[in-house]
């Protein structure tokens, strides 16, 4: 099969390549605004791999690039949720318009299958309510969440109007090797700069599910294999939760630090648009027969180890 991966040099996209390339052909389409060449350079001499440096907002180039593929994994998105405070059209361009361009390019080239990485931001801030996939109304509190919801709507419309098929995943916080942002990643960076003090956004009690990238890839491929509706939407999370304070303590422990002073910016939210408490209803994916291998704490510990090992190897 020939796969087309948008954002394929980024966190999730680059790790998906590892799962697919042995038996399939892969084209990565990435503008490298957050993706890293180091994540995919191992494939550059592989005859099954092709890299196109391009922008999803460049529709003519995208239409030509996507031709001849069988399946699209659409991972490309704005990775900096808080940045929309200052650049309010960022998620509109990189989320909604980019997704439209992908879908239109697919339509024009008879590429009929797409998997899309959405997220919990579509549900908005509903406290401790465990949200099933049919929860509503969907009222996002961030531009990022709004763009994910808008993209989901476009994908659904294209599927029904142009006989496409889609798989959309509402992920918890995805963590692991190759991640380019996130709370654990930020804590490591901050503590490298100052091992005696850690500034934590909000009050540290924010509580969410953190899912390891290995579980995410397993879930995505399992759902594609075992579902066949025109539009397939699934929550993908761990079923348990961990606080920001607990993550901070794990990072301090893993880095071998002592007497680190935690300072807080205050408030329940880390930034405008942040959702401090996220809870998923996972009955749908459980009924399909899938569960995670790693709990939130196990995923955090594994991801911190992975990020620290990469840092160590890069400094040798």
Confidence of residue 295 (pLDDT cuts 50, 70, 90): very high
Residues 132 and 184 in one domain: no
Alpha helix ranges (H) inside 124-212: 143-162, 183-193
Residues 22 and 113 in one domain: yes
Residues 217 and 270 in one domain: no
Residues 167 and 199 in one domain: no
pLDDT score of 313? 46
The answer to whether position 96 is within a domain reads: yes
pLDDT digits (tens, 9 = 90+) for 114-153: 999 999 999 999 999 999 999 999 999 999 999 999 999 9
Write out the DSSP string of 22-84. TTSEEEEEE--SS--GGGTGGGTT-TTEEEEE--TT-HHHHHHHHTT-SEEEE----S-GGGG
Residues 231 and 244 in one domain: no
Q: Can you read off the two tokens belonging to residue 297?
A: 């704490």
The answer to whether position 116 is within a domain reads: yes
CATH of the domain at 204: 3.90.25.10
Q: What percent of the chain has pLDDT over 70?
A: 98
Residues 11 and 157 in one domain: yes
The answer to whether position 110 is within a domain reads: yes
The answer to whether position 308 is within a domain reads: yes
DSSP letter at 86 equals T
Burial of 271 (0-12, 13-18, 19+ CB in 10 A): middle
pLDDT digits (tens, 9 = 90+) for 215-261: 999 999 999 999 999 999 999 999 999 999 999 999 999 999 999 99
Residues 112 and 199 in one domain: no
Residues 10 and 65 in one domain: yes
pLDDT digits (tens, 9 = 90+) for 168-198: 999 999 999 888 888 999 999 999 999 999 9
Distance separating alpha carbons of residues 26 and 42, to the nearest angstrom = 13
Distance separating alpha carbons of residues 68 and 302, to the nearest angstrom = 38
Rounded to the nearest 10 degrees, what angle do helices 98-108 and 59-66 cross at?
Answer: 50
CA torsion angle 217 129 153 57 (round to 10): -60
Mean pLDDT of the 302-314 span: 80
The answer to whether position 289 is within a domain reads: no
The answer to whether position 59 is within a domain reads: yes
Residues 80 and 161 in one domain: yes
Structural domains counted in the chain: 2
Residues 168 and 186 in one domain: no
pLDDT digits (tens, 9 = 90+) for 74-129: 999 987 777 888 999 999 999 999 999 999 999 999 999 999 999 999 999 999 99
Distance separating alpha carbons of residues 103 and 31, to the nearest angstrom = 18
CATH of the domain at 165: 3.40.50.720
DSSP letter at 123 equals G
Residue numbers of the domain that contains 258:
178-208+240-276+294-315
Query: How much is the pTM?
Result: 0.94
Residues 215 and 203 in one domain: no
Distance separating alpha carbons of residues 145 and 152, to the nearest angstrom = 11
């Amino acid at each position: 099969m020939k796969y087309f991966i948008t954002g394929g040099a980024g966190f999730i996209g680059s790790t998906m390549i590892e799962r697919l390339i042995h038996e399939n052909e892969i084209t990565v389409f990435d503008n490298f605004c957050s993706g890293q060449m180091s994540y995919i350079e191992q494939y550059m001499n592989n005859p099954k791999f092709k890299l196109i440096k391009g922008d999803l907002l460049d529709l003519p180039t995208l239409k030509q690039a996507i031709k001849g593929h069988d399946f699209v994994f659409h991972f490309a998105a704005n990775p900096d949720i808080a940045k929309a405070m200052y650049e309010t059209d960022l998620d509109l361009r990189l989320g909604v318009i980019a997704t439209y361009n992908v879908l239109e390019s697919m339509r024009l080239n008879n590429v009929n299958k797409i998997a899309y990485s959405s997220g919990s931001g579509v549900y908005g801030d509903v406290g401790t309510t465990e949200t099933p996939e049919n929860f509503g109304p969907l009222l996002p509190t961030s531009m990022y969440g709004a763009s994910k919801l808008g993209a989901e709507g476009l994908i659904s419309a294209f599927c029904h109007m142009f006989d496409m098929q889609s798989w959309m995943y509402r992920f918890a916080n995805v963590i692991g090797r190759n991640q380019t942002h996130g709370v654990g990643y930020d804590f490591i960076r901050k503590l490298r700069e100052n091992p005696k003090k850690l500034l934590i956004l909000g009050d540290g009690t924010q509580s969410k599910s953190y899912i390891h990238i290995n579980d995410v890839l397993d879930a995505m491929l399992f759902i594609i294999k075992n579902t066949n509706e025109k539009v397939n939407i699934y929550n993908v999370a761990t079923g348990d939760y961990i606080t920001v304070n607990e993550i901070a303590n794990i990072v301090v422990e893993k880095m071998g630090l002592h007497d680190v002073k935690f300072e807080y910016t205050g408030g329940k939210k880390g930034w405008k648009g942040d959702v401090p408490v996220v809870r998923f209803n996972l009955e749908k994916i459980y009924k399909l027969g899938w569960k995670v291998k790693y709990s939130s704490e196990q995923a955090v510990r594994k991801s911190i180890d992975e990020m620290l090992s990469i840092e160590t190897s890069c400094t040798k």
